[in-house]
Amino acid sequence: PSKVNEPRAHYAAKKAADTRWSSPPPLTAISGSPDRLLVIGGVEIECYVLEDDTRVITQGSMLTALGRSRRINKKPGDDADLPPVLRVQALRPFISSELIENARPISFVTPFGLRANGYRAQVLPQICEAWLNARANNDLLPSQKPIAQAAEIIVRGLASVGIIALIDEATGYQELRTQDALARILEAFVAKELQPWVKTFPNDFYRELFR
């Protein structure tokens, strides 16, 4: 029986090898470092800019920012084709084909020569919007509502920083400001917005959300 299966096994191995060699080489990050992190609400996010100007957040950081485990479990089912960051039942009605495509992991090489997987940076606010839509439609469980609240704060914070960044670019001030100025503005905004919620939820909630 083993000899009968040999041609099939050889074909499968050859097909896998052909796919691997025919895949385009991963892009290289031209900016970014594990020592220079974006901090949002106490969560440290590792991010890079690739050679084609794509801004990416590492897969682990994206999952952590959304309160998900860094470990990706591949299980068969209806959501098997969805990226891990979108595998939440309440989000399904609000997931567009565009979001699914944008949320496909991107393989790249860090400036230090290490292989990594990441997501396009714009996926983070898009997923936050999906959480807000699910909340507006009353589709969230009580345990999921704090995540929607955090998503709202992130979206509002990014919007505030966005207009500041655009003005700085238009006026040329981006050449004068400190490198971490926008990150500090965002962190200050998020910290202020989260303050009224500090005593609303138990410490276990924050440990799980930012784990």
On whether the CB atoms of residues 130 and 150 are closer than 8 A, the answer is: no
Lowest mean pLDDT among 4-8, 48-52, 80-84, 179-183: 4-8
- pLDDT > 90 in the chain, percent: 22
Host H or E run for residue 44:
strand 43-45
Judged against a pLDDT cut of 50, whether residue 145 lies above it is answered with: yes
DSSP β-bridge partners for residue 31: 49
Q: Which of 102-106, 138-142, 185-189 has the highest mean pLDDT?
A: 138-142
What local confidence, expressed as pLDDT, does residue 184 receive?
79
Judged against a pLDDT cut of 90, whether residue 107 lies above it is answered with: yes
What local confidence, expressed as pLDDT, does residue 30 receive?
92
- Give the confidence band of 12 by pLDDT, cuts at 50, 70, 90: low
Judged against a pLDDT cut of 50, whether residue 157 lies above it is answered with: yes
Judged against a pLDDT cut of 80, whether residue 191 lies above it is answered with: no
Host H or E run for residue 39:
strand 38-40
Host H or E run for residue 47:
strand 47-50
On whether the CB atoms of residues 45 and 38 are closer than 8 A, the answer is: yes
What local confidence, expressed as pLDDT, does residue 136 receive?
95
What local confidence, expressed as pLDDT, does residue 137 receive?
95
Residue 22 CB-half CA count within 13 A: 6
The backbone torsions φ and ψ at residue 109, rounded to the nearest 5 degrees and listed phi first, read: -115, 125
Lowest mean pLDDT among 23-27, 146-150, 165-169, 203-207: 203-207
DSSP E strands, 98-142: 106-109, 115-120
Judged against a pLDDT cut of 50, whether residue 11 lies above it is answered with: yes
pLDDT in tens, 74-101: 555 556 556 666 788 889 899 988 888 8
pTM, two decimal places: 0.67
What local confidence, expressed as pLDDT, does residue 72 receive?
57
On whether the CB atoms of residues 173 and 167 are closer than 8 A, the answer is: yes
- Residue 134 — left, alpha, or beta (φ > 0 → left; ψ -120 to 50 → alpha)? alpha
